[in-house]
Amino acid sequence: MDASAPLSPSLAPVGCYFAGDDNLRVTVLNGLAGVTVRVAGRFLHCEAGAAPRIEPFAHTLVPASDRTASTLTTRLGTGWLLDVQAIASGGTPLTGQTFVILSVVRGLSGGIEDLATLAAGYLTSTQRVVWPGDRIHDSLDGGGALRSISGTTPAPGAEISETVPAGARWQLLAFRAQLVTDANVASRVIRLLVDDGANILAHTSTNVGQATALTYTYGWVQGPMTGAVGQVNALLFGLPNLLLLGAGWRIRTSTASIQVGDQFSLVQYLVREWIEGS
Amino acid sequence: MLRCRSCGGIYEPELPDKTRYFHACPPLSAHEILDEHAAGTSVLSPPTLAALDAALAADRATPPKAGEPSRVDQVLASLTIERPNKRDETVTHAAEPGLPARIKSDGAGVDVRPAREP
């Protein structure tokens, strides 16, 4: 420890001492395009032979939007970190979309050793992640981000399949799609499935046959597992409450007697999303 | 707007809320499995193939009543057959730190299509 360091706690009682080879690391897991994270704070320099001085610092990081980790490691010097905060200075992420970890590491490149976590949490363009004063949040804390997602329109005769992206956790709140049947005589019955990428975990059958050359809209929402309710050609079904899905899991249809010209479209669903942080 | 050459699905790679959309091809549908079976290109395991053949024969001999699922439907409902050469845009971690993540599988690639009408 530098000779001047013992003087510092009286100046900065909640400071965090940085030896010369300790650095501040910012790790961002982000699911939104156009986000810029700004990290700023104050550092009390206590270099040998120099008078202590407080210097503000600020850095920006444009994270990847695929929920993989983007990092920025910055050298602050020898002395005491007084405070630091992170905020979205670009983009408008919702709580649940941009997760930030502020930590102390040793080394600047190559083999970097993670030493201590200062703060972790979701940020927005108004809500900051701060140290000191904030606690270390889990990325699965809180209500998540509400997202309405337009899915893939499959080719004629193909099923719907929507996959939870890497690094995300979803809670399925509602799902909706339209099926237009072709001229082949058959009674199509849709099942909505959840699988883990290989094994089917849950399914709900509509138990409604859709005949030739008809257009039906199917909806599923969280709630009681009632039979179909609704108007002619617009049907509503139940989904289990608290249906959580991990990365790589799928929401898909499996349609009995689907025909070559049957066309699913208008695939739209509502999820609550968290960063998994894996 | 993109069209997947592996499955023919159409999707927007970036959604209106500025999040990326990660397309992954669906498993084969029932009629696609039956088409492959009829063409002799089925990838079903021998026991599943035997069960499907038995169901096809039973449905021919005793057609299901209106509103009842066929025996073939009952066999196919329990199957998940992944599409050959499927595209999966969900990402995997980069091989080395600092490199961008890669999508899991390119499949047959994509075609760019005109944007969807509002």
Instruction: Encode pLDDT of A178-224 as tens digits.
Output: 999 999 988 899 999 999 999 999 888 888 889 999 999 999 999 86
Q: Do B101 and A187 touch (CB under 8 A)?
A: no
Q: Which residues, in sequence order, are bridge partners of residue A72?
A: A26
Structure-block tokens of residue A11: 């100046």
Exposure class string for A244-264: b at 16+ Cβ within 10 A, else e: ebebbbbbbbbbbbbbeebbb
- Among the listed residues A15, A7, A9, A132, the one whose alpha carbon sits nearest the alpha carbon of residue A76: A15
Residues B54 and B75 both lie in one domain: yes
* Residues A66, B31: C-beta atoms closer than 8 Å: no
When pLDDT is cut at 50, 70 and 90, the band that residue A249 belongs to is very high
Residues B43 and B10 occupy one common structural domain: no
A14-52 per-position pLDDT tens digit: 689 999 899 999 999 999 999 999 999 999 999 888 999
pLDDT bin (cut points 50, 70, 90) of residue B94 is low
Mutate to test the interface with B, among A61, A62, A66 (most CBs of B within 10 A): A66
Rounded-to-integer distance, Cα A117 and Cα A139, Å? 14
- From chain A, the residues in CB contact with B59 under 8 A are none
On whether both B46 and B8 belong to a single domain, the answer is: no
- Measured between beta carbons, the chain A residues lying within 8 angstroms of B64 are none
Q: What is the pLDDT of residues A76-91, one digit of tens each?
A: 999 999 999 999 999 9
Q: Are residues B31 and B76 in the same domain?
A: yes
Same domain, B115 and B96: yes
**Domain boundaries, position B90:** 1-26+84-118
pLDDT of A226 > 80? The answer is no
Going along chain A from its start, the domains and CATH numbers come out as: 5-131 (2.60.40), 145-275 (2.60.120)
Query: Reduced to 3 states, what is the DSSP secondary structure of residue A132?
Result: coil
Contact A8, A66 (CB under 8 A): no
pLDDT, residue A109, reads: 81
Same-domain check for residues B67 and B103: no
Range B34-50 average pLDDT = 91
* Cα gap B94→B106, rounded to integer Å: 16
CA B109 to chain centre: 15
Q: How far apart are the first and last CA of chain A?
A: 35
Q: Do B90 and A165 touch (CB under 8 A)?
A: yes
Is the distance from CB of A78 to CB of A43 less than 8 angstroms? no
CB contact under 8 A, B91 and A165: yes
What would the mean pLDDT of A100-106 be, rounded to a whole number?
Answer: 97
DSSP state of A66: S
Which element (helix H / strand E) includes B50? helix B46-61
Counting other chains too, the contacts that A18-22 makes at CB distance below 8 Å and 24 or more residues apart are: A18/A43, A18/A76, A18/A77, A18/A78, A18/A79, A18/A80, A18/A81, A18/A104, A19/A78, A20/A77, A20/A78, A21/A106, A21/A107, A22/A76, A22/A104, A22/A105, A22/A106, A22/A115
- Considering only CB atoms, A195 lies closest to which of B19, B73, B80, namely B80
Alpha helical stretches, state H, chain A = 8-11
Omega before residue B26 within 30° of 0, cis:
no
Complex ipTM, two decimals? 0.92
Q: From the CA of B71, how many Å to the nearest CA of chain A? A: 10
The pLDDT, as a whole number, for residue B100 is: 77
Residue B72 and residue B36 share a domain:
yes
Same domain, B70 and B33: yes
CA of A251, closest CA in chain B: separation in Å?
10
Say if residue B109 is in the same domain as residue B66.
no
- How many domains does the structure of chain B reveal? 2
The answer to whether A98 and A274 have CB atoms below 8 angstroms apart is no
Cβ partners under 8 Å of residue A13, min gap 6: none
Q: What is the pLDDT of residue A20?
A: 86
Q: Is the pLDDT of residue A229 over 80?
A: no
Interface contact A33-B80, CB threshold 8 A: no
Tell me the chain A residues in contact with residue B22 when contact means C-beta distances shorter than 8 Å: 66, 163, 165-166
What are the chain A neighbours of B69 within 8 Å (beta carbons)? 189, 256-257
C-beta atoms of A151 and B22 within 8 A: no
Check if A108 contacts B (Cβ < 8 Å).
no
* Complete DSSP assignment for A232-249: TTEEEEEE-TT-EE-TT-
Whether B68 and B99 share a structural domain: no
Angle at A244 between CA A241 and CA A248, to 5 degrees: 145
Of the candidates A32, A160, A189, which has its C-beta nearest B69's C-beta?
A: A189
Cβ–Cβ < 8 Å for A91, A32: yes
Which residue on chain B is closest to A91 by alpha carbon?
A: B18
Which of B27, B92, B94 lies at the smallest CB-CB distance from A161? Answer: B27
**Residue ranges of A 149-178 with Cβ closer than 8 A to chain B:** 149-161, 163-167
Tell whether B6 and B31 lie within a shared domain: no
pLDDT at B95: 63
Q: Are residues B69 and B95 in the same domain?
A: no
Count, residues in chain B: 118
Query: Is A157 within 8 Å of B23 when comparing Cβ atoms?
Result: no
Question: Min CA distance, A258 vs chain B (Å)?
Answer: 6
Query: Tell me: the pLDDT tens digits for B66-90?
Result: 777 889 998 998 889 999 999 999 9
